[in-house]
Every structure is written in C-alpha cells, then in structure tokens.
Amino acid sequence: MALYRDQLAEVERDLERGVIEPAEAESARVEVSRRLLAAADAQEKSAGAGRQVLSRKAVAGAIVVAVPVLSLVIYLGLGSPGLPDQPFAARMAAPVSQLPIDALVLRVEEHLKADPKDLRGWEVLGPAYIRQQRYQDAANAWDQAIALGGETALRLAARGEAEVFAANGVVVPTAREDFTKAVALDPHEPRAQYYLGIAEIEDGKKGAAIARWKALIASAPQDAPWRPSIEGELARLENPNAPGPDASQIGAAADMSPEARQKMIEGMVGGLAARLDKAPNDIDGWLRLIRAYGVLGKKPEAEAALAKARKTFAGDAAATARLDDAENSLPK
C-alpha cells in the first residue's frame, strides 16, 4: 500500500515536471488507485480471517517448494522481455534483485498485459499473489496458467489452495474439485491430499482424514520439508487432548518477534517433554519431541529423548523402526 501511495505522488510530480501528459497521468492515477484499493481491501479481509486460517497456511507454506520472491527475481532477470515505458520507469528500472515484492509483481503484471500468453509469467505470479494475500488474484492467475498450459496436479492444487484462502480457510466445492482432480493426476501431490483431509474433517469424517494423511506421510521421503507439519496436524487430530497451541496462541505467534516466538516454541516443546515423562507410552509424542529438538538445534536433548523412547519401547519392532527413522532424519 505504501508503494502505491508513493506511485500516486510520483504521478503528480511527473505531471508537474511535464514528463507525462495529463491523459497519461489520469490513466496512471486510475490504475494505481485500483491497486491501492485492492491492497487495502485484502488487508482488511486478512485482519479478520487471518487467525482462522493461519495454521493451515503454516502447513501449506511448508508444502510449497517454490519461493515466490526468488521466482520473480529469476523470471524478471532471465525471462522477461523489455517492458514499454511507464510513468514509473525510473523506479522500475532498478535491478530486480533490489526491488520489493510489490514492485516485482507490478513488473510481471505489466509484462503480462503486453504478453498475456506467457505461461511462466502466470505461474510465478500466482504464488506471489498468495504472498501478498491477494487470494482471488492468485486463483485467477492459476486460471490463466491452466488455460495456457493445461491441467497438472501442481496447477490444480495451487488454484484450489488460493480458493481456500479466499474463502477464509473453508474448502469450498470448487477447491475440492481441483484437489480431487490433482490427486487423480498425482496421488502424491501433498497440498491436494492435505486439503482433501481438511475437507473430510469439515464433513465430520475424521477417520478418513487420518487415513489419508497417514498414507501421504508413509509415501513421502523422510526429508520432505512439509512432513513435520503434516505429522503435527495428524498428531493433534488423533490426540486432541495433547498439549499444543490453541487458536489464541497461534494468533499471538503471528505478531511476536522471532525471539519471543522461539521462546514460545521452546516452552511448548518443554511441555511435551514433561508430559512424556509422566505418560511415556506415546510413540507419536516421542517422535514429535525428537524432531522438534532437531529443528531447534538441540542435538543432545534429541539424543536423550531417543534413548528414553528406545527404553520405553524396547521389544516393539515397529516403534523401534520409527525411532530409527527419526534418528536418521536428525540434522548431522
């Protein structure tokens, strides 16, 4: 929003200096004002709905492989043809690596106006709109990508996810249809399987969601970046009484400094460790604790938790195998 306000001010300065014609200035005012209003509307909607969908976005964020900003920089640096002169040409001419995401998105949008059949442009724009919380725009971008490049599991899952976010976290019928098509094309598409599980929970089919997520985890590589997030969701679904962040804690975490958030995480991990000391017969709890220590860089604590878990489940071949996998996945 601040960028768009600056652009409006720059239009007025360019007009006063005679750099642009009045008609061109008016056209620029309309376009930038439209973007400013859209950004304000997205921010207002996000404030009311953000807490409801934050935990789902956290899981989805772990599932998404591409980094929107990096994708935009690479696209603009290597693949974008020259853009026509604009009132903000001086600002937009800065090296792409130095531009904020709002300016990067504007560059891609301007290019796509001139070349709307650039498939790669729509594919980098979709995730960037998610980053900007412009969820309906993201869904529209994936509409264009699908129209140009056809339906793939990734494109369908990405469009469905944007539709979920636009609906304040509800898996609406159109999104469910996209996820169903995605898993038909690729049964291992993680975002689609995750959201279909959410849809089953919304339908009251908790058992179906548990089975779906367990199958997804079983088929995933041990180092899949989204695996710990899905495992955490699954553990809370199977054991709703286990200690963990409630809705207010999740909402508060979004506003915390990194240091405060780290302390909160360590506090929750400590609470899990204390519970396992009193009730150790919870293999999923031990696995969460071991992985949490690994993420926090606390290797001695992870090894101590492994030792306690192995002692608890001595003679249980299945549990021992899972503990072996957890040990092998710890950072070296």
Contacts of 120 (CB under 8 A, 6+ apart): 75, 79
Which range has the worst mean pLDDT, 43-57, 193-207, 232-246, 303-317? 43-57
Residue 150 pLDDT greater than 70, yes or no? yes
| Closest-CA residue to 233 (of 284, 166, 171) | 284
The pLDDT mean for the chain works out to 74
What is the DSSP-derived secondary structure letter of residue 97?
G
Look at the chain and count its residues. Answer: 332
Higher pLDDT, 209 or 15: 209
Of 131, 86, 200, 164, nearest to 215 by C-alpha is 200
287: nearest Cα among 216, 234, 220, 247 = 234
What contacts 24+ positions apart, CB below 8 Å, involve 287-291?
287/231, 287/322, 287/323, 287/326, 288/231, 288/232, 288/235, 290/323, 290/326, 290/327, 290/330, 291/228, 291/231, 291/326, 291/329, 291/330
Cβ contact 121:75 at 8 Å:
yes
Confidence check: pLDDT of 270 > 90 = no
pLDDT of residue 259: 61
Position 139 pLDDT exceeds 90:
yes
Q: What pLDDT is recorded for position 246?
A: 47
219, 221, 222, 223: CA torsion to nearest 10: -150
> Are 272 and 289 in contact, with CB atoms under 8 Å apart?
yes
Is pLDDT above 70 for 81? no
CATH (residue range 261-332): 1.25.40
Q: If you average pLDDT over each of 45-54, 153-162, 314-323, which comes out highest?
A: 153-162
Q: How confident is the model at residue 104 (pLDDT cuts 50, 70, 90)?
A: confident
For residue 271, the model assigns a pLDDT of 74
Nearest to 176 by CA among 162, 192, 155, 190: 192
Q: Tell me the whole-structure pTM to 2 decimals.
A: 0.54
Can you give the pLDDT at residue 308? Answer: 93
What is residue 154's predicted lDDT score, i.e. its pLDDT?
A: 92
Vertex 284, ends 278 and 290: CA angle to 5°?
80
For residue 45, the model assigns a pLDDT of: 47
The answer to whether 92 and 106 have CB atoms below 8 angstroms apart is: yes
CA dihedral 316, 221, 142, 171 (to 10 degrees): 0
- For residue 23, pLDDT beyond 70: no
The string over 189-206, giving b where at least 16 C-beta atoms fall within 10 Å of a residue's C-beta and e elsewhere, is bbbbbbbbbbbbbeeeee
Lowest-confidence region among 26-35, 128-137, 295-304: 26-35
φ and ψ at residue 39, rounded to 5 degrees = -65, -40
Cα separation, 299 vs 201, whole angstroms:
35
Residues of the chain with CATH 1.25.40: 169-241, 261-332
Highest averaged pLDDT of the listed ranges 88-92, 199-203, 263-267, 304-308:
304-308
CATH class of 169-241: mainly alpha
Distance of alpha carbon 167 from its chain centroid, rounded?
15
Place of tokens 């724009």: 125
